[in-house]
Amino acid sequence: MREVRMALLEADVHYSVVKSFTQRVKARAVGHEVSKALNPSQQVIKIVNDELIATLGEPGSLNLKGERPYVIMLVGLQGSGKTTAAAKLAKFLRSQGERVLLAAADPYRPAAVQQLQTLGEQINVPVFYKENVSPPKLAEEAYKSARKGGSSVMILDTAGRSQMDTALMEELGAIKKKVTITETLLVVDAMIGQESVNIAQGFRQELPVSGLFMTKIDGDARGGAAISIREVTGVPIKFLGVGEGVEAIEVYNPDRLASRILGMGDILGLIEKAETSFDQEQAQAQAEKILKGEFTLEDFAKQLKQVRKMGSFGQVMEMLPGQMGQAARQIDPQAAEDQFKQVEAVINSMTVEERRHPKILNASRRRRIARGSGLEVQMVNQVIKNFRETQRLMKTLQKSGGRGLGRLI
C-alpha cells in the first residue's frame, strides 16, 4: 500500500484523495474478497484497478437535447487550453454528423480570436466574431447566426483570467442570461495537478458546470488530476485532450484511464487512434503491394506520415500493454522521435524516381540526399539498408504464405 500511495502522489493526485483511496483498497484487500484464481499481488492489483475505475466515475456524455442549436460553453482559466479544446470538440462533433459553429468570445487575450479562426480554417468549421462587441452580446448574435445558418451545435470559446475573480464570473453569468446554455464544460489543465481541484471547486460554486474537459492528459501527471477532481467535486469528466493536434481528443473512459495510470497500457485507445489516422483505402492498397513484394520507399513515406498522425512516439508507447509496452518504454522517446524525423528527412530528400527504384541510389545520389536532409551519408545508407531488409522479410512472408508472421509479432 505504501507503493500504491507513492505512485498516486507522484501522479499528482490530491493527498486527501490518496488517503481515502488507500483506506478503501486496504479495507477490501484484508476483507473477504479473495479469488482463488489470483495470487496475492494480482489480487491487490485487481482491487486497486477496480477502485480506480470506481473513483474516476462513470463517463459523462454530452446532453444534446432540446431545441437546436445546442450551445456548449467552454470556461476556465487562461492557459488551460480552451481555444484548442473548442477546435478539438468541433472536429469531434463534425465527425458525429453535427453542423458546428465556433464563436470567439474572448476579445481580451492577444491573438485569441486569430488562433480560433486559424483552427476553424484547419478543420473547416466557420468561426463567428465581431469587433468591439461585448462577449454576452457576441454570444447572442452568434446564436442567431447559428440558427439562421442551420447549425446544430454552437461552441462558445469564452475569456479566461489568470485567476478566478468577480469580473470573470459576472461576464459568464451575463452570457448565460443572453443565451440558453446546453452544456457548460470546465476546461482544466491536467498538468497543474492538485491545484486543479481548487479551480474546479471554485468554478462549480459560481456556475452550474455540467462536465469537465481535461487537457494535456498525455503529460507527466498521467491522469492524477482527473482522479482528484472527480473524487472531490463529483463533476463528470466528458473529454480528454491527449495531444496538441486538433484530432487529439478522446471521449472519457475510466477503464482506459485507470490502465494508463497503472502502466497497463490502452490498446483500445491505440486502435481508435489508428482508425482515425489511417486512410483505409490507402492502407489496403499498401497491404496488397506488400503481399506482391512491390513495396517501395514512396509507400514507406506514406505509411510513416500516417503513423505520425497518431501522435508522438512517447504517446503511442504509453498505450502499449504488457511486456510489449514495458519493452517499448525502455526506449528513449525523444531519441526515437528524432530517428523518425531523420528517416523522413532522408526519404523527402529523394526524387520520386529514387523512392520508387532504390536500386539506382549510387554513391553520388546518396551524397546529394545527405546534403538535402542535413545528415551524414551513413544515415542515408542505414535507412536504405533497413528498407531492403524489410523488403526481404516481406518476400519471405509472401513465399511462405504468411506463416511465421505470428512469431514475428
Q: Which CATH number fits domain 2-56: 3.40.630.30, 2.40.110.20, 1.20.140.10, 1.20.120.140?
A: 1.20.120.140
* 141-166 pLDDT per residue, tens: 999 999 999 999 999 999 887 777 78
User: What's the CA gap between 227 and 17, in Å, rounded?
Assistant: 8
Planar angle of CA 269, 56, 201, nearest 5 degrees: 120
Per-residue DSSP letter, 157: E
Name every residue whose Cβ is closer than 8 Å to that of residue 295 and which is 6 or more positions away in sequence.
Answer: 286, 289, 390, 391, 394
Domain boundaries, the chain: 2-56, 70-262, 274-408
User: What's the CA gap between 222 and 115, in Å, rounded?
Assistant: 27
Confidence of residue 319 (pLDDT cuts 50, 70, 90): low
User: What's the CA gap between 279 and 303, in Å, rounded?
Assistant: 10
Which grid coordinates are listed for 406? 505470428
How many other C-beta atoms lie within 10 A of the C-beta of residue 185?
Answer: 26
Question: Averaged over 93-104, what is the pLDDT?
Answer: 93
Average pLDDT, the chain: 80
Residue type, 154: M
Specify the range with the lowest mean pLDDT, choosing from 39-43, 82-86, 251-255: 39-43
Spatial CA neighbour of 380 closest among 337, 335, 353, 348: 348
Confidence of residue 289 (pLDDT cuts 50, 70, 90): low
What residues pair up with 128 in beta bridges, in sequence order? Answer: 103
Is the domain 274-408 a CATH 2.40.110.10 member?
no
Report whether pLDDT(257) > 80.
Answer: no
Maximum Cα interatomic distance, the chain, rounded to a whole number of Å: 74
Question: Averaged over 74-93, what is the pLDDT?
Answer: 92
Angle between helices 15-29 and 2-10 (to 10 degrees): 150
Confidence of residue 252 (pLDDT cuts 50, 70, 90): confident
Per-residue DSSP letter, 359: G
User: What's the CA gap between 386 and 378, in Å, rounded?
Assistant: 12
Residue with cell 490498446: 267
pLDDT at 94: 92
Spatial CA neighbour of 56 closest among 212, 290, 284, 274: 212
User: What's the CA gap between 37 and 46, in Å, rounded?
Assistant: 12
* 325-380 pLDDT per residue, tens: 555 556 676 777 788 888 889 998 999 888 888 889 899 999 999 999 999 999 99
pLDDT at 406: 44
Q: Please give the CATH number for the structural domain made up of 70-262.
A: 3.40.50.300
Whether 193 contacts 224, CB under 8 Å = yes
- Helix (H, G, I), strand (E, B), or coil: what is residue 100? strand
User: How does DSSP assign 168-182, residue by residue?
Assistant: HHHHHHHHHHHS--S
